């Protein structure tokens, strides 16, 4: 279904690799969202939207929901807005700058509440410490019945789940970038618990990935 000669690993949001990976995982994630996103009117926030490929792909399927993209890198905002124009989605807001390591930037979300928050393919190229920022921000803006969705490849109890995940993990480590590598679900859940959140579901996804769903404990 997808080319075996995938582009060289490059986490830059506008890279060919990220575009390839996004097209590969968007439909399986969409199926999860069709089951778990609110059926009534509501608001959805994406952390680390990057190119905007995911939020602009999902939004047309949920006309009753209002989608808010965000990213720390303002250089990607133009691309996000271009994709919104291309899809014609009326339920995607202009992107906002949100640094998950700097609570001072979260004021842009003041007085806003979200029924769902999602984050896709971030942790393999980000430090595990970012989990604290994600969970702290989620604690401040998630509605009482809201859910946080985190998608990506992870270790389980300190171990790779498949040979292919181990190969991918070793590839990430081979680049010598300190924060790159597969993180353990237990460490992300530990961060969640400090902010009153609990792991509600762990869904096996294609290509040995997971969707982790957190809600209020």
**Which pLDDT score is estimated for 93?**
97
Tell me if 9 sits within 8 A of 17, measured CB to CB. Answer: yes
**Which pLDDT score is estimated for 3?**
44
Task: Name the band, by pLDDT with cuts 50, 70 and 90, for residue 83.
Answer: very high
Tell me if 107 sits within 8 A of 79, measured CB to CB. Answer: no
Higher pLDDT, 62 or 168: 62
**Which pLDDT score is estimated for 140?**
95
Task: Name the band, by pLDDT with cuts 50, 70 and 90, for residue 5.
Answer: low
| Total residue count of the chain as it appears in this document | 217
How does pLDDT run across 96-149, given as a tens digit for each residue?
A: 999 999 999 999 998 899 999 999 999 998 899 999 999 999 999 999 999 999
* Domains in the chain: ranges and CATH: 16-216 (3.40.50.150)
Residue 173 C-beta-side C-alpha neighbours within 13 Å: 9
pLDDT > 70 in the chain, percent: 97
Task: Name the band, by pLDDT with cuts 50, 70 and 90, for residue 2.
Answer: very low
Q: Is the pLDDT of residue 1 over 80?
A: no
Q: Is the pLDDT of residue 64 over 70?
A: yes
In sign, the C-alpha dihedral spanning 102, 130, 117, 215 is negative
Tell me if 208 sits within 8 A of 195, measured CB to CB. Answer: no
How does pLDDT run across 142-200, given as a tens digit for each residue?
A: 999 999 999 999 999 989 988 888 888 898 888 888 898 899 999 999 999 999 999 99
**Which distant-in-sequence residues (6+ apart) come within 8 Å of 114 by Cβ?**
42, 43, 44, 45, 68, 141, 142, 143, 146
């Amino acid at each position: 279904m997808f080319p075996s000669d995938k582009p060289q690993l490059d986490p830059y949001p506008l890279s060919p690799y990220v575009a390839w990976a996004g097209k590969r995982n968007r439909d399986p994630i969409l199926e999860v969202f069709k089951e778990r996103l609110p059926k009534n009117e509501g608001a959805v926030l994406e952390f680390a939207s990057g190119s905007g490929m995911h939020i602009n792909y999902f939004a047309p399927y949920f006309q009753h929901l209002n989608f808010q993209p965000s990213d720390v890198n303002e250089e990607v905002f133009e691309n996000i807005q271009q994709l919104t124009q291309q899809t014609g989605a009326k339920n995607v807001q202009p992107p906002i700058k949100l640094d998950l390591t700097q609570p001072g930037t979260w004021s842009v979300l003041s007085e806003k509440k979200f029924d769902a928050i999602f984050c896709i393919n971030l942790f393999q190229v980000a430090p595990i410490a970012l989990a604290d920022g994600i969970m702290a921000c989620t604690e401040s803006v998630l509605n009482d019945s809201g859910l946080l969705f985190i998608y990506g490849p992870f270790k389980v109890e300190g171990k790779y789940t498949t040979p292919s995940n181990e190969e991918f993990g070793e590839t990430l480590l081979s680049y010598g970038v300190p924060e790159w590598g597969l993180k353990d679900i237990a460490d992300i859940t530990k961060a969640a618990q400090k902010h009153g959140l609990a792991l509600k579901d762990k869904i096996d996804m294609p290509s040995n990935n997971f969707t982790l769903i957190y809600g209020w404990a």
